[in-house]
Structure 1
């Protein structure tokens, strides 16, 4: 019996330190139990000595309380465990030994799984470190190449800036030389004329008058600009896309163009007319002083749209910078009538501004079909008619190719308009019987 008990107690492997900690936090269920030192039990079991009850030192532990899950003596059964189910330790040990073995196998399996996970974790850690080193190498190579590309782009920009400066200085020097020569010629002509008028004889003035007058007139008519043809308009735009350099996309461009409002133009199909409550718009093309498109955005564009008769009826337009020197202006007028549209660039009117827009009443959609002729579209029915007014011989009330009234091209059956995207000029009868006469098919 004591040998069976040793199989239960000894494999627990609880150290004295843990026993002390467990003793401090015992649950209420085992609060009255006495904890024995493991060393004494180990010595007792190994020597084949009986295991005595701590509460009844003279009684041997040879029973097992199933409810309290602990070995007890017969006195314990008679006292504190009187109503508890119990069995002999020799019988109970088999069940508990099997459960412990089952838990042991499960724990061993978990240990094997954990060892495998730890091994894979170490492998993943090594892979992470190796991959990080490889990516760090890629980053360094990319950065070195990028820095080299940026430095090359910088050198190009500085070279472009230097060439632009020299070009402007040369043109300015040439203009200065021309103006100086013209001024020198004028001074010479003025001095000669003054001496002639003050010191010359009457006959001398009359003889040289024609040559002197012709010379002065020619000097006065000489064309020259009242402003220097060159300016200091040199800017750097860091957001400007500058293409690629050594395979890297780079930004930043030297800009020397200046927008000229007088050279900016307006474009669009609906520039002069539109319809009520319909989103419409036009395009502003910004050009420089030479008439060349700017090729970049960022200009100060302002647009005002006001009703000619209702000053308080203004339309708020939307200006979209396309980034290439063009700007799309969109708006939707709520009232019909004439509107004055003003387009400003840098506070100045552009070419064609201001202009008048005719806003028509709400657009009337076509209620018929866009067809070639009623003869073809209706399958040759004589009663089929069309709003174009065309007829055919033989009693046909509708139009046909090459016959009277036919427009000669596809048109709308409801109003006869030949443009696909047009406004309907006449309503279609609401009576279905008459509408059925205008049976058509789409081309």
Structure 2
């Protein structure tokens, strides 16, 4: 009934009858003068007698103030929500405009960035191609120069050989004896001329697209042209674990890659392969670990489980490096040091004259042990083991002290 009343009110609000009496829909001849509190709706006198008999009701004039105030409060809240919604809608419109403007500005930035980036890449490309062309011309010039020199040398040798052959086949004994010295000297001089047995330059030109190439036009670019190529015959091996190791202990050595001129490579990425196989037990092999240091060096580590002699091969690009294959000796047990690692016997013994050291050094003034840079032969001021003179703290003991050392002096040095 409330919705119907609202509809009727909406339909009559602009008419002249809007302020006149309203009649009950159920009793058309009765005017709506009462208000049922329980049903919250206007009723007529007949409704109160009939359907609303037990309901609490009152005249509309008596309840209009209370219900009007309640409606005005709801109206006020609704108007506040409307104002909030209008403000949000306004903010949405403003934010939409801001997003549109910002998107256009960012699109401009992206276009400028992309244009600059493309320009920087093109400049970097041109620079790389120029560098490559200069490198190609440089290598070709060196080859041409070497070729010209070798061709001249070959021509001189050919002339000398032909002359010598004619002399030996057609010359008289006297002519041979007269010209022998000059001819032999000429040939010897030609033979003594030093020349490379291979081309003076290589074709080791490479492009590394992932390598950083610095800045170009304010942008970081990638890709460099490398001139060097590794030469396995020039690569070298270094380290304590190269020829000896101990059973069940980690050992290592280092591979240094060089180019055909013997100059150090400054990048990694080479195909390095290492095999370590027992010489007496062919089925016994050690699996080494190869670590690329990305600077032209490779760290090879291994841990042999059995003692004996091993054949160690190191390959770069499928070729043996310098010194490969080599023999690796694996000892059964690591010999521990029995002495102390000290700088000198003078310090470790507290200044005792009779204290000695296995390094054999002595000190002026009647001191039987080594001192700070005095008679410290082979160990000038360096820390070393008192039992064998080894300079490295993590080294294996090489043996006991010299035989002329008394047991008393040795014990004193060791315990201190």
Task: Tell me whether the two structures share a fold, i.e. TM-score over 0.5.
Answer: yes
Kept in 1: contact 2:306–2:330 (CA 8 A): no
- The structure 2 residue matched to 1:182, chosen from 149, 153, 160, is 153
Instruction: Show the counterpart of 2:20.
Output: 48
- The structure 2 residue matched to 1:358, chosen from 330, 355, 363, is 330
Task: Identify which range, 83-92 or 174-183, moves more after superposition.
Answer: 83-92
Kept in 1: contact 2:236–2:323 (CA 8 A): yes
Show structure 1 runs of 5+ residues with no match: 1-7, 20-35, 377-389, 391-398, 426-443
Matches within 5 A, 1:35-434: 36=8, 38-40=10-12, 43=15, 46-49=18-21, 51-82=22-53, 84-220=55-191, 222-268=193-239, 271=242, 281-307=252-278, 311-332=282-303, 340-355=311-326, 356=328, 358=330, 400-402=350-352, 404-405=354-355, 421=394
- Kindly tell me: are residues 278 and 97 of structure 1, through their superposed partners in 2, closer, same or farther at Cα, counting changes over 3 Å? farther
- Kindly tell me: are residues 212 and 337 of structure 1, through their superposed partners in 2, closer, same or farther at Cα, counting changes over 3 Å? closer
Q: CA deviation at 1:251?
A: 1.9
Q: What does the per-residue CA deviation read over 1:71-123, in whole Å, with 9 as the maximum and x for residues that have no partner? A: 33344445544555544433443333222222222222223333333444444
Q: CA deviation at 1:288?
A: 0.8
Find the residue that maps to 1:52 and give its secondary structure.
coil
Find the residue that maps to 2:201 and give its secondary structure.
coil
Q: CA deviation at 1:62?
A: 3.0
Aligned equivalents of 1:277, 1:76: Cα separation in 2: 108
- Kindly tell me: are residues 363 and 218 of structure 1, through their superposed partners in 2, closer, same or farther at Cα, counting changes over 3 Å? closer
Find the residue that maps to 2:27 and give its secondary structure.
coil
- Kindly tell me: are residues 72 and 361 of structure 1, through their superposed partners in 2, closer, same or farther at Cα, counting changes over 3 Å? farther
- Kindly tell me: are residues 183 and 284 of structure 1, through their superposed partners in 2, closer, same or farther at Cα, counting changes over 3 Å? closer
Aligned equivalents of 2:185, 2:60: Cα separation in 1: 145
Task: Identify which range, 285-294 or 76-85, moves more after superposition.
Answer: 76-85
TM-score between the two structures when normalised by the length of structure 2: 0.70
Task: Identify which range, 84-93 or 239-248, moves more after superposition.
Answer: 84-93
TM-score between the two structures when normalised by the length of structure 1: 0.66
Task: Identify which range, 177-186 or 292-301, moves more after superposition.
Answer: 177-186
Q: CA deviation at 1:417?
A: 9.9
Find the residue that maps to 1:236 and give its secondary structure.
strand
Q: CA deviation at 1:258?
A: 0.9
Show structure 2 runs of 5+ residues with no match: 358-369, 372-382, 399-416
The number of residues matched between the two structures is 371
Find the residue that maps to 1:60 and give its secondary structure.
coil
Q: What does the per-residue CA deviation read over 1:335-378, in whole Å, with 9 as the maximum and x for residues that have no partner? A: 66665543221112223444426376699899x999999xx9xx
Kept in 1: contact 2:304–2:330 (CA 8 A): no
Instruction: Show the counterpart of 2:374.
Output: none
Kept in 1: contact 2:23–2:30 (CA 8 A): yes
Find the residue that maps to 1:211 and give its secondary structure.
helix
- Kindly tell me: are residues 135 and 63 of structure 1, through their superposed partners in 2, closer, same or farther at Cα, counting changes over 3 Å? same
- Kindly tell me: are residues 401 and 216 of structure 1, through their superposed partners in 2, closer, same or farther at Cα, counting changes over 3 Å? closer
Aligned equivalents of 1:64, 1:122: Cα separation in 2: 46
Aligned equivalents of 1:270, 1:206: Cα separation in 2: 61
